[in-house]
């Protein structure tokens, strides 16, 4: 984005890009999870997250319960979806762009080199989907709290690299 644009315009453009990237990746990821569940039934229900690294590849995060074989198969499916890889990278770029445009924090470094250590895209998507379906009458407080905790900004504050 041209640095000659006023900061408020840069931030608004960044937000529009982030919202678009966020909306696109949800259905793609849910489709890929369905494929994983169908093609690899032993992976169904296992806990894992994913992010993207500086080389623009999908990497697993929070996947301690997976064996090496399970992790390898899962990565093959995730990285085998060109659409998911493209959209995950667009989301990462857009979130970093929002961070930069807003001057979000002078105490946190957020870039492609540390993105995968900071943001679990899967947790963000799945928590949002779960919260959208949950009642709003106070009976699903833990679901809505999980959604809040897994929002990319909350992940950034909780796990971001301090400078």
Residue 120: pLDDT over 80: yes
Percent above pLDDT 70 for the chain: 97
Residue 3: pLDDT over 70: no
Average pLDDT over residues 41-49: 93
Are 108 and 124 in contact by the 8 Å Cβ rule? The answer is no
Q: Residue 49 corresponds to which tokens in the numbers above? A: 């997250």
Can you tell me which residue has the tokens 């080389």? Answer: 55
Residue 80: pLDDT over 70: yes
Count of other CB atoms within 10 angstroms of residue 9: 13
Q: Residue 154 corresponds to which tokens in the numbers above? A: 């909350």
Residue 1: pLDDT over 60: no
Average pLDDT over residues 157-162: 93
Are 61 and 50 in contact by the 8 Å Cβ rule? The answer is yes
């Amino acid at each position: 984005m041209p640095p000659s644009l006023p900061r408020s315009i840069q931030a608004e453009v960044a937000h529009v890009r982030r919202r678009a990237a966020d909306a696109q990746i949800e259905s793609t990821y849910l489709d890929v999870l369905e494929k994983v569940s169908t093609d690899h039934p032993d992976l169904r229900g296992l806990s894992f997250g994913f992010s993207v690294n500086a080389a623009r590849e999908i990497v697993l995060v929070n996947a301690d319960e997976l064996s090496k074989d399970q992790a390898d198969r899962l990565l093959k499916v995730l990285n085998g979806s060109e659409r998911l890889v493209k959209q995950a990278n667009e989301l990462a770029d857009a979130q970093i762009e929002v961070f930069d445009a807003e001057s979000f924090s002078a105490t946190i470094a957020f870039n492609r080199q540390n993105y995968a250590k900071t943001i679990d895209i899967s947790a963000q998507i799945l928590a949002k989907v779960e919260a959208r379906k949950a009642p709003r009458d106070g009976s699903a407080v833990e679901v809505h709290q999980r959604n809040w905790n897994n929002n990319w900004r909350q992940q950034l504050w909780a796990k971001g690299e301090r400078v």
